Amino acid sequence: MENLERILKEHPFLAGLDDKYIKLLVGCASNVAFKAGEYIFREGENANQFYFIRHGKVQVETYVPQQGPVIIRTRSEGEIFGWSWLVPPYKWHFDARAVEVTRALALDGKCLRDKCEEDHNLGYEIMKRFALIIAERLEQTRMQLLDVYGNHSKK
């Protein structure tokens, strides 16, 4: 537990968060590991967690008929992924698959949602941090859509 508390406290995502909330988050956290190629979650499943990647790499992908899985983003060590637990209907919109052996901290989003409802200060702190992540992802996706490199490969 002490170790989880230290990891969460030192993570930039939670910088400045009150110790009492860190302790509360520790109660929602667990260490998880995934083998290379293992799906962490699949599109349409209930979104009840989010993850802090401690080691490894995760692909966020979707399945396109006649094309197979298309990778949307790669998440690496130090990054956070998964925010569907935060917005109804709490379902994953994409698949997430470990590219290599991946170790992460999984936070129970359902438990955290309840705690945020009980304590709106905590809810605001969490929302503030996820809003930044969502805005950043939106900006990156827009840039991806711009297709800035011009000429398209024949593939």
Partner 1 sequence: MATTVKNKKTAPLGTADAMHIRPFSIRRVVKESFDTFSLELDPLSGEKGHKFAPGQFNMLYVYGVGEVPISISGDPTRHKTLTHTTREVGTVTRAMRNLKVGDTLGVRGPFGSSWPVEDAVGNDVVIVAGGIGLAPLRPVIYYILAHREKYGKVVLLYGTRTPEDILFRKDLEKWRSRFDLETLLTVDRATGAWKGNVGVVTTLIGRAPFDPLNCVAMVCGPEIMMRFTVLELQKRGVEEDKTFISMERNMKCGIGLCGHCQLGPTFVCKEGPVYCYRDLKDVFIKREM
Task: Write out the H or E segment, with its range, that includes residue 10.
Answer: helix 2-10
What is the spatial distance between Cα 6 and Cα 45, in angstroms, rounded to a whole number?
Answer: 31
What DSSP character marks residue 71? E
Binding residues for partner 1, rule: CB under 8 A, are 57, 59, 61, 67-74, 76-79, 99-100, 140, 143-144, 146-155
For the CB of residue 75, give the shortest distance to partner 1 in the complex, in Å.
9
Tokens of 112: 């955290």
Which class for 113: exposed (0-12), middle (13-18), buried (19 or more C-beta within 10 A)? middle
Backbone angles phi, psi at 6, to 5 degrees: -65, -45
Nearer to partner 1, 1 or 64 (CB): 64
Nearer to partner 1, 47 or 60 (CB): 60
For the CB of residue 67, give the shortest distance to partner 1 in the complex, in Å.
7
Cβ–Cβ under 8 Å, residues 75 and 58: yes
For the CB of residue 141, give the shortest distance to partner 1 in the complex, in Å.
9
For the CB of residue 70, give the shortest distance to partner 1 in the complex, in Å.
6
Nearer to partner 1, 49 or 59 (CB): 59
What is the spatial distance between Cα 101 and Cα 72, in angstroms, rounded to a whole number?
Answer: 20
Nearer to partner 1, 88 or 150 (CB): 150
Nearer to partner 1, 26 or 60 (CB): 60
What is the spatial distance between Cα 117 and Cα 115, in angstroms, rounded to a whole number?
Answer: 5
For the CB of residue 154, give the shortest distance to partner 1 in the complex, in Å.
5
What DSSP character marks residue 94? S
